[in-house]
């Protein structure tokens, strides 16, 4: 299915409304008592995650009944149109932060045609910030256009990363080495714990680069289009074009991309995600 700029504008509008409505719902639970369960890979899920996704799915299904839907909590829901775009939704990215009262969490709604992100919205409820972008339409924070940073001296750069679902030394040690190398060369490295926010902040020029492994398509779909529309670059650790079905991502302001590849780059192929489009 080919989407026109008019289509994408409507998709953006409805995605923003859905994300902000979900954000309001999430805040009703924040710093209050709610049920928490542990899922596979030692991640957490709460009532807020489940109810946020249900709200988003209902709103998007009403407006775009022929689109496929892939949510972190509900899984894949296919429409009758095999060629339709697919939503990639994380109803509460940063659930562990949310459970512990750390305000770095968000709602992430991305849309992809095949394996290519074409629209993305990331809403940060506590800060009441909404980052959004669509293919060919630019990237915005609320109504203000945003762009990646212009920093090219690596020692001036602020980077961000994460260690999603790594519970063994075998998995974690190579990532800690990357962290150490980046920390020694850059101004500083942060680890907020919500990949979608990390990507939104690269798009907005706050962070200059972000890398992480073991992510799913709902973690990165919205952020990928945000970074590229803001003038940045998104690849895997080998410098190949980024893909929704790869478990690694490197996003930068373009200017430091090669230096970041020198730190995180690996020749071996990244494993495919279980929640991919293929």
> Tens digit of pLDDT for each residue in 193-203?
999 999 999 99
> Among 41-45, 74-78, 185-189, 225-229, which stretch is predicted with the lowest mean pLDDT?
41-45
Mean pLDDT to the nearest integer, 56-84: 91
116 and 36 inside one domain: yes
pTM of the complete model? 0.91
The answer to whether residues 85 and 180 belong to one domain is no
Does residue 84 sit in helix, strand or coil?
coil
Query: Is residue 257 domain-shared with residue 194, that is, in the same domain?
Result: yes
Do 130 and 20 form a contact (C-beta atoms < 8 A)? yes
Residues 227 and 126 in one domain: no
Examine the pLDDT at 271 and tell me if it is beyond 50: no
Quote the pLDDT of residue 166.
Answer: 62
pLDDT score recorded for residue 86: 96
How many folded domains does the chain comprise? 2
Please measure the distance between the N-terminal and C-terminal CA atoms of the chain and give it in whole angstroms: 17
278 lies in some domain: no
**In terms of domains, do 239 and 212 share one?**
yes
- Given a contact cutoff of 8 angstroms between Cβ atoms, the answer to whether 222 and 89 are in contact is no
Q: Which of 110, 145, 180 is the last residue of a domain?
A: 145
**Rg of the Cα trace of the chain?**
17
Average pLDDT over residues 22-46: 83
Same domain? For 114 and 173 the reply is no
Average pLDDT, the chain: 91
Write down which residue in 77, 112, 145 finishes a domain.
Answer: 145
Q: Which of 119, 145, 171 is the last residue of a domain?
A: 145
Phi and psi of 82, rounded to 5°? -60, -30
| pLDDT-derived band at 169, boundaries 50, 70, 90 | confident
Give the pLDDT band of residue 275 (cuts 50, 70, 90).
Answer: very low
- Is the pLDDT score of 132 beyond 70? yes
In a domain, 91, yes or no: yes
Can you tell me the mean pLDDT for 157-162?
96
Tell me which residue range forms the domain holding 231. 154-264
Let me know if residue 274 belongs to a domain. Answer: no
The domain that contains 244 carries what CATH number? 3.40.190.80
């Amino acid at each position: 299915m080919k989407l026109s700029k008019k289509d994408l504008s409507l998709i953006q509008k409805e995605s923003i409304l859905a994300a902000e409505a979900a954000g309001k719902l999430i805040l009703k639970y924040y710093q209050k008592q709610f049920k928490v369960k542990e899922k596979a890979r030692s991640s957490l899920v709460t009532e807020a995650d489940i109810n946020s996704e249900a709200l988003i799915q209902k709103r998007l299904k009403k407006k775009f009944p022929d689109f496929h839907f892939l949510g972190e909590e509900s899984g894949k829901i296919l429409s009758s149109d095999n060629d339709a775009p697919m939503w990639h939704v994380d109803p509460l990215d940063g659930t562990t932060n949310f459970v512990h009262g750390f305000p770095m969490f968000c709602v992430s709604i991305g849309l992809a045609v095949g394996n290519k992100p074409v629209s993305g919205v990331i809403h940060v409820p506590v800060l009441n910030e909404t980052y959004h972008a669509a293919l060919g339409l630019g990237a915005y924070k609320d109504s203000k256009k945003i762009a990646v940073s212009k920093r090219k001296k690596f020692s001036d750069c602020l980077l961000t990363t994460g260690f999603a679902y790594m519970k063994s030394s075998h998995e974690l040690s190579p990532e800690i080495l990357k962290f150490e190398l980046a920390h020694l060369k850059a101004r500083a490295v942060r680890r907020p714990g919500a990949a979608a926010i990390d990507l939104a902040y690269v798009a907005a020029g706050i962070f200059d680069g972000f890398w992480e492994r073991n992510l799913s398509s709902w973690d990165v779909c919205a952020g990928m289009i945000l970074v590229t529309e803001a003038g940045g670059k998104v690849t895997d650790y080998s410098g190949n074009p980024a893909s929704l079905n790869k478990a690694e991502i490197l996003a930068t302001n373009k200017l430091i991309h090669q230096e970041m590849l020198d730190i995180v780059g690996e020749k071996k192929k990244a494993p495919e995600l279980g929640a991919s489009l293929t």
